[in-house]
A = this chain, B = another copy of it.
């Protein structure tokens, strides 16, 4: 399965023609999906550990997975099931909420810069700087000229990151309005899920069309060669998890991190240990 088939082509974006419930490139259903994801674990872990090990050599390479999508599209589930396959020591997750008063007093990228992964890490953004051209635009929380400027600022920012060793993997979790309705109803039917429900989610849902248009603009404007968008069909959770796992794997393979050579004399150190004064 090549996850790259979900790479968004350049040009105008029409989300209504991109399926939400297809499972292209995968021969199998839900039953095969979970083991297929689990099967990525070993290679993901190995590549992640190499990337982690590389830190010691002064490498600045790292990965930043950006997860965007409407409520219930499965950002949390992706963290648990896909990101959860990796060693938590090398993963840095940041969930962006409505900005605090302090964050609001800074440029919108200020808090984003603070949350960037250090070299060797896999950073994950659960929501991101894209909220500043999505919810902000839909609700008119900034002047139109400000939002307009932000697309270019985002592109410049991401180019800067790429030049500094950050591999960006930007995923839009694409769910249908019908699937969102099912998921919201499920939260209302199970007392163990009440905590996930917020009446505001229905208010946002009423602006579904506006959000779609706004996503389309954001995707088109920021779908750069260096930081392209992937639109991941997300009506089937198992497929969404698998595609994002494959995307991480493909990008880590392309990075091809190497075990660093010894920066000391291996034989001399071995001798030191073998000939030590007994320690206890």
Which positions in A face B, CB cutoff 8 Å?
53, 56, 76, 79-80, 83-84, 86-89, 91, 93, 95, 126, 177, 181, 184-185, 188-189, 191-192, 194-199, 202, 205-206, 208-209, 259-262, 264, 266, 269-270, 272-274, 276-277, 279-280
Q: When chains A and B are docked, how far (Å) is the Cα of A140 from the Cα of B145?
A: 59
- Measured CB to CB, the nearest residue on chain B to A192 is B259
Given contacts A177-B280, A279-B177, A279-B206, A188 and B266 within 8 Å (CB-CB) = yes
Q: Which of A79, A184, A194, A270 is packed against the most chain B CB atoms within 10 Å?
A: A194
Closest to A262 in B: B194
Please report the C-alpha to C-alpha distance between residue A86 and residue B93 in the assembled complex, in whole angstroms: 14
Complex interface: chain B residues within 8 A of A259 (CB):
191-192, 194-195
B194 touches A266 (CB 8 A): yes
**Whole-angstrom distance from the CB of A244 to the nearest CB of chain B?**
14
Given the complex of chains A and B, what is the CA–CA distance between A266 and B4 in angstroms?
41
Number of copies: 2
| Bound-complex Cα distance A181 to B274 (A) | 9
Cα separation A274 to B182 with both chains bound (whole Å)? 10
Residues of B close to A272: CB separation below 8 A: 202
Residues of B within 8 A of A181 (CB): 273, 276, 279
Chain B residue numbers with a CB within 8 Å of A126 are 89
In the complex, what distance in Å separates the CA atom of A269 from the CA atom of B205? 13
CA–CA, A109 and B34, complex, Å: 43
- Closest Cβ of chain B to A103, distance in Å, is 16
Q: How far is the CA of A250 from the CA of B197 in the complex (A)?
A: 29
* CB contact between A56 and one of B191, B195, B274 (< 8 Å): that residue: B195
Complex Cα spacing A208 to B276, Å: 12
| Chain B min CB distance to A38 (Å) | 12
A118 to chain B, nearest CB (A): 11
A84 surroundings in chain B (CB, below 8 A): 84, 87-88
Tell me whether A194 and B261 are in contact (CB under 8 A): yes
Which residues of B have CB within 8 Å of A189? 270
Which of B93, B199, B206, B270 contacts A276 (CB under 8 A)?
Answer: B206
Q: Report how far A80 CA is from B88 CA in the complex, Å.
A: 6
Q: A199-B264, A202-B273, A269-B188 are contacts. A93–B89 as well, Cβ < 8 Å?
A: yes
Question: Are B185 and A273 closer than 8 Å at their CB atoms?
Answer: yes
Pick the contact of A208 from B88, B269, B279 — CB < 8 Å? Answer: B279
Scoring A53, A88, A189, A272 by chain B CB atoms within 10 A of each residue's CB, the highest score goes to A88
